[in-house]
């Protein structure tokens, strides 16, 4: 039977009186060890994203806890708020709903259970945030409920691998991390575990969800969250308009043009703009299709790769004409060259407009372009000067610079040929 104590009267002795080490939800978790019970200020405990469930609060759970806390206080038969100290910050391992309920009720102090990182385990090298992620899933996987579902294991495992530069295609590593998460205690049949393992090993080029949420239908909730930085007609402190758009299976072209319209309006209105595009596709190939459609509409999408992190996955400008100038690297090359040449040209203004000054101009400009060529920005160039008497009388020096910009590599095509055993590579 539960025994509740009002929060304002709660002491460490109260907690110790009803609990022992066998009540510890992390008793068999090898990366953390229990240190002590304590009474903690709620404001000093920080709820964290455990890598699979986000920090989204389930209102029903929070409301139920509100009623429970109001009715009698803290149930001494429940394990206190578990946390570890990371660089003087107390980070919660679980109890995000209890934390939210206590915050809403303005409860200042709550019972705490402090843990320390184990130093001699094979995976003790993991970042503290990754150990928090694993421990958070472990608690939900071993508490006798169905709180931890397959997606939680998948997203958390991939996240841990990304944070620590581990190979998520290595089945040995995947199985060891899943074991740390308590997957065998959550699922007692091999089929579910195999499905989870395969989903992690075959994880695509990028996660299909761009928010911190991981379950279907939460994209719309994410957009509506008060603290979501993206939302239609919202503006951040720097005056940048923040928009959220969802790519639709049948209207990718339309969304690409809507993106362009927003960009044009921002340019005309002289304000900045940031747009979050969420793909509805459920596979990496589907997300790639959405991304290719945006690129065709001259929008460079942002992709997240497991090994490389976040990348701007494109090289196009908004120019419609299919010339070298519709690529960012060429446009940036011209801007940089113009900046450098303008700077050295200033030295020659108001000098005598004769052959000497023209030779000086060539001596200043040619090394700049030659250096760009050495840095692989150009394949070749030529500088010409017009010294016609008419221009000399107009106090003007006219130069013409011809360049061959180095094009960016955007596609890699590899052809595999299977040869017979007796074939000679000398005949290829």
Contact criterion met (CB below 8 Å) for 93 and 51: no
pLDDT value for 219: 44
Is 76 contained in some domain?
Answer: yes
Helix, strand, coil percentages (3-state) for the chain, rounded to 5, are 45, 20, 40
pLDDT value for 162: 85
Contact criterion met (CB below 8 Å) for 122 and 172: no
pTM of the model: 0.49
Question: Do 354 and 237 belong together in one domain?
Answer: no
Confidence check: pLDDT of 226 > 50: yes
Question: Do 152 and 235 belong together in one domain?
Answer: no
Residue 266 belongs to domain spanning: 218-312
How much is the mean pLDDT over the chain? 79
pLDDT interval class at 225 (50, 70, 90): low
Number of folded domains in the chain? 3
Looking at 279-334, which runs of residues are DSSP E strands?
A: 302-305, 309-312
Question: Do 87 and 136 belong together in one domain?
Answer: yes
Instruction: Say which residues have a Cβ less than 8 Å from residue 318's Cβ, sequence separation at least 6.
Output: 260, 263, 298
Give 90-126 pLDDT, tens digit per residue: 888 877 788 888 888 888 899 999 999 999 999 999 9
Question: Do 68 and 149 belong together in one domain?
Answer: yes
DSSP category for residue 409: P
Q: Of 49-53, 139-143, 402-406, where does mean pLDDT reach its minimum? A: 49-53
Contact criterion met (CB below 8 Å) for 210 and 275: no
Question: Do 118 and 194 belong together in one domain?
Answer: yes
Is 208 contained in some domain?
Answer: no
pLDDT interval class at 37 (50, 70, 90): very high
pLDDT value for 205: 44
Maximum average pLDDT range among 42-46, 139-143, 347-351:
347-351
CATH number of the domain enclosing 186: 3.90.1530.10
Residue 246 has a CB neighbour count (10 Å cut-off) of 13
Confidence check: pLDDT of 362 > 90: yes
Give 316-350 pLDDT, tens digit per residue: 887 878 788 888 888 888 988 999 999 999 999 99
Is 413 contained in some domain?
Answer: no
Is 418 contained in some domain?
Answer: no
Question: Do 64 and 157 belong together in one domain?
Answer: yes
Contact criterion met (CB below 8 Å) for 168 and 158: yes
Residue 199 has a CB neighbour count (10 Å cut-off) of 17
Question: Do 339 and 192 belong together in one domain?
Answer: no
């Amino acid at each position: 039977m539960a025994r509740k104590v009002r929060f304002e009267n709660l002491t460490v002795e109260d907690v110790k009186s009803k609990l022992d080490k066998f009540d510890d939800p992390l008793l068999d978790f090898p990366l953390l060890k229990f240190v002590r019970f304590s009474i903690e200020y709620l404001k000093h405990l920080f709820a964290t994203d455990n890598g699979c469930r986000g920090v989204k609060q389930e209102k029903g759970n929070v409301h139920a806890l509100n009623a429970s806390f109001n009715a009698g206080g803290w149930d001494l038969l429940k394990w206190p708020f578990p946390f570890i100290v990371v660089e003087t910050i107390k980070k919660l391992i679980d109890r995000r709903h209890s934390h939210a309920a206590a915050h809403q009720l303005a409860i200042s102090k709550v019972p705490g259970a402090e843990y320390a990182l184990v130093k001699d385990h094979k995976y003790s090298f993991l970042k503290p945030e990754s150990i928090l992620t694993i421990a958070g899933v472990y608690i939900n996987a071993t508490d006798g409920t169905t709180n931890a579902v397959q997606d939680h294991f998948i997203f958390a495992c991939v996240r841990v691998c990304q944070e620590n530069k581990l190979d998520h295609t290595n089945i040995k590593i995947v199985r060891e991390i899943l074991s740390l998460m308590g997957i065998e205690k959550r699922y007692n049949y091999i089929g579910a575990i195999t499905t989870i393992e395969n989903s992690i090993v075959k994880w695509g080029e990028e996660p299909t969800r761009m928010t911190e949420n991981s379950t279907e239908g939460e994209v719309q909730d994410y957009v509506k969250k008060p603290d979501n930085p993206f939302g239609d007609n919202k503006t951040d402190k720097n005056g940048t308009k923040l928009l959220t758009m969802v790519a639709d299976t049948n209207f990718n072209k339309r969304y690409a043009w809507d993106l362009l319209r927003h960009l044009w309006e921002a340019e005309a209105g002289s304000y900045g703009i940031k747009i979050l595009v969420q793909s509805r596709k459920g596979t990496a190939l589907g997300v790639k299709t959405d991304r290719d459609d945006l690129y065709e509409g001259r929008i460079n999408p942002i992709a997240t790769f497991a090994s490389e992190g976040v990348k701007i996955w494109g090289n196009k400008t908004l120019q419609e004409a299919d010339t070298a100038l519709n690529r960012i690297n060429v446009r940036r090359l011209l801007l940089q060259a113009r900046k450098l040449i303008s700077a050295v040209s200033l030295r020659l203004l108001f000098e005598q407009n004769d052959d000497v000054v023209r030779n000086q101009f060539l001596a200043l400009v040619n090394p700049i372009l030659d250096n760009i060529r050495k840095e692989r920005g150009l394949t070749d160039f030529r500088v010409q000067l017009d010294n016609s008497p008419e221009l000399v009388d107009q106090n003007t020096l006219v130069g013409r610079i011809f360049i061959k910009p180095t094009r960016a590599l955007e596609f890699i095509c590899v052809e595999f040929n299977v040869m017979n055993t007796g074939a000679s590579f000398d005949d290829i």
